[in-house]
Amino acid sequence: MEYHLKSGDPSGQRTACLVLGVYTKRRLSQPAVAVDQASKGHLSKILKKGDMDGETGQSLMLYHVPGIQAERVLLLGLGAEKALTLKSYLTAWASAVKLINESSVIEATNALNAISIADVDLAQQLRETIITTEDQLYRFDQCKSQATPPKRPLKKLHLNIGAQKKSQPVTRAIIEGEAIANGIRIAKDLSNLPGNICTPSYLANQAKQVGRQSTKLKVSVLEEKQMQALGMGSLLSVSRGSREPAKLIVMEYNGGKPKSKPVVLVGKGLTFDAGGISLKTSAGMDEMKYDMCGGASVIGAMAACVKMALPINLIVIVPSSENLPDGAANKPGDIVTSMSGQTIEILNTDAEGRLILCDALTYAERFNPAAVVDVATLTGACIIALGAHASGLLSNDEKLADELLDAGRRASDRAWQLPLWDDYQEQLKSNFADMANIGGKGAGTITAACFLSRYAKKYKWAHLDIAGTAWLSGDQKGATGRPVSLLSQFLLKRAGWAK
């Protein structure tokens, strides 16, 4: 897809399809008023007929609108003007993209970016517009013998910003939006691939592929032997139950000053989670191919950061393994020693995410991080608590937590904080080791985070549980690419390039 920034009156723009906003009670948005005047009231006349009144998601395609250069006008409902938010705008825009992509129109003009939204700057609006556009156009047909793409897909989009200035942040926002959308696409592709294709080795090779993007990005992959030497007994205990060798993917991007401390992102890269000896039930088990979405999202965020050329240092670490039942697999009651030296009694082999993450968190110490954020499809309990709308957020640092919550709000990729009180630590007590790997019945998302917090004491750390947000189930089954947007926003802000 090509994106072009345009300014000026949209009525003068040559385009196959001009998208204009209409608020409830058939009120025309400001760019639509200009078109209405140029067409001598054509739009108002049509709206009076009552075919649409401006509710969010409504649309009406018009042909032969007199007095303007556009071949078609797509009127798009934006809801009540006072209630317009970035989220409601993006919902409406998403429906427009779907409609246009399925029509014969291959080039269109979005005249909605001339409308300002409270608390959202133009750069943010443009980035989000591009991200939503690409999200709508995304298809995953790598594994079909015959792909069936739309006959005349949308190829070029003009973003009309009216009388607003093409300042540097605004022109840069186009590149940023494309970079983030590309990161999301990488995350979705990796996530949607089945476990027999996307193995730990495949994931590692794809990370290396991303590494070819820039000389400022170095990618290395630690093999089991090296992990053994580092004492990663917890991570390796999970991979022992599988024939695919574990990998520890390490990506290092040096875009900032040599001495500035890096942000470290850690992602759970479990390419298939059958539960191990604590085997899962079969219904829906196919979805456990998505247990590497955390890893895919941090690789995607890295790709976005590199494409944006952010002036920061960023490290990505992805511990990757399968979790399968096998003669050599972990057994309930087994005790393993982590790289930190702490011992773990494995009471449930299905709580394996924390077992691979804890060693990666210890490994992160060597980078002397400014902050560490781990991203994981860690607990089914998080889906019970927050459903598919918010990722769970837990942190040992309130400022870092607030930063991530804010990034999520701004990027329409929200998280919600849960408490990490010491009270919950009790639930991890073990009679035989330093800790158990499960915390019993209540507060599963919190006790999982409590477990991780014991490996994150040396730095500012936050944990995102994306079990509910990383993919959709049912007939819409597919990866969402979350939380690449949240992470990218967080990094943009750290770079001083966004609010």
Residues recognised as catalytic = 280, 354
How many residues make contact with ligand BES (CB under 6 A)? 16
Q: Which of 412, 203, 175 is nearest to 305 (CA)?
A: 175
Q: What residues between 446 and 475 interact with ligand BES by CB under 6 A?
A: 467
Q: What residues between 333 and 362 interact with Mn ion by CB under 5 A?
A: 350, 352
Token pair, residue 267, equals 């992602």
Q: What residues between 282 and 301 interact with Zn ion by CB under 5 A?
A: 291
Contact (Cβ atoms closer than 8 angstroms) between residue 304 and residue 486:
no
Nearer to ligand BES by Cβ, of 270 and 462: the residue is: 270
Residue nearest ligand BES by beta-carbon distance: 380
Contact (Cβ atoms closer than 8 angstroms) between residue 111 and residue 72:
no
- Rounded to a whole number of angstroms, the minimum distance from the CB of residue 291 to ligand BES is 5
Among the listed ranges 112-120, 150-158, 355-363, 380-388, the one in contact with ligand BES (CB under 6 A) is: 380-388
Instruction: Match 């773990």 to its residue by tokens.
Output: 344
Nearer to ligand BES by Cβ, of 85 and 348: the residue is: 348
Nearer to Zn ion by Cβ, of 189 and 273: the residue is: 273
322 binds ligand BES (CB under 6 A): no
Helix (H, G, I), strand (E, B) or coil at 325: coil
How many residues make contact with Zn ion (CB under 5 A)? 4
Q: Which of 7, 27, 169 is nearest to 84 (CA)?
A: 27
Helix (H, G, I), strand (E, B) or coil at 196: coil
Helix (H, G, I), strand (E, B) or coil at 369: coil
* Bridge partners, residue 8, by sequence: none
* Bridge partners, residue 463, by sequence: 374, 394
How open is the CA angle 347-353-358, to the nearest 5 degrees? 90
Q: Which of 178, 453, 184 is nearest to 297 (CA)?
A: 184
Residue nearest Zn ion by beta-carbon distance: 273
Cα separation, 1 vs 156, in Å, equals: 6
Nearer to Mn ion by Cβ, of 352 and 359: the residue is: 352
273 binds Zn ion (CB under 5 A): yes
207 binds ligand BES (CB under 6 A): no
Instruction: Match 């040096």 to its residue by tokens.
Output: 254
Q: What residues between 158 and 177 interact with Zn ion by CB under 5 A?
A: none
Instruction: Match 């590309």 to its residue by tokens.
Output: 182
Nearer to ligand BES by Cβ, of 420 and 467: the residue is: 467
Distances (CA, A) of 210 to 38, 203, 374, 480: 48, 11, 20, 20
Nearer to ligand BES by Cβ, of 118 and 283: the residue is: 283
Contact set with Mn ion (CB under 5 A):
273, 350, 352
Contact set with Zn ion (CB under 5 A):
270, 273, 291, 353
Contact set with ligand BES (CB under 6 A):
273, 291, 348, 350-353, 377-381, 383, 438, 444, 467
